[in-house]
Structure 1
Amino acid sequence: MLVLSRQRDESIMIGDTIVVTIVDIRGDKVRLGINAPSEIPVHRQEVYEAIQRENMRASRLDPADTQDIGKFTDVARTNGQQNAPEGPGHA
């Protein structure tokens, strides 16, 4: 782990596109400003861990949860055929 000392309004660069700035220091709390491209997610660690737990929970699919999927796709297919235009030139 790289450990740096910074004062208020000083920044560090991560790569070419991420800037972390010390915005405020109050007692034992430091406020950081993080400027990063929108395609790079930035989360507090506890939020990131909660997202990871939820993703893991969602990825564990119970086979019982999928037993009726065929019924829905059959209904969708049937409804699509019933509502399909009957030939060229229909609006």
Structure 2
Amino acid sequence: MLVLSRKSMQSVTIGSDIRITVIRLEGNQVRIGIEAPRDVRILRDELVDGYEEVPGLSDEPIIDLASVVA
């Protein structure tokens, strides 16, 4: 396991197309942002073991978050 130290708004890039950014530090929690291609599935670790594909469920977002945040 690679362990890195990052400050707020600093990033780590994985490969050429995945970027993880520390958005905010709040007490003992870290808020992160993940930029990745749409075909990369991102799950919280506690959901990995129980995750299964749901037939008919779309990977397309309901709303475009970039337009909401901008």
User: TM-score normalized by structure 1?
Assistant: 0.55
Structure ranking higher in helix proportion = 1
| Matching residue of 2:65 | none
* Contiguous gaps of at least 5 residues in structure 1: 56-91
* Percent of residue pairs identical: 40
One-letter code of the match for 1:34?
Answer: I
* Contiguous gaps of at least 5 residues in structure 2: 54-70
Q: CA RMSD in A?
A: 1.2
Structure ranking higher in strand proportion = 2
1:33 matched to 2:54: no
User: TM-score normalized by structure 2?
Assistant: 0.71
Rg (Cα) greater in structure: 1
Q: Structure with the greater relative contact order (CA < 8 A, sep ≥ 6): 1 or 2?
A: 2
Matched positions, count: 53
4+ runs deviating over 2 angstroms: none
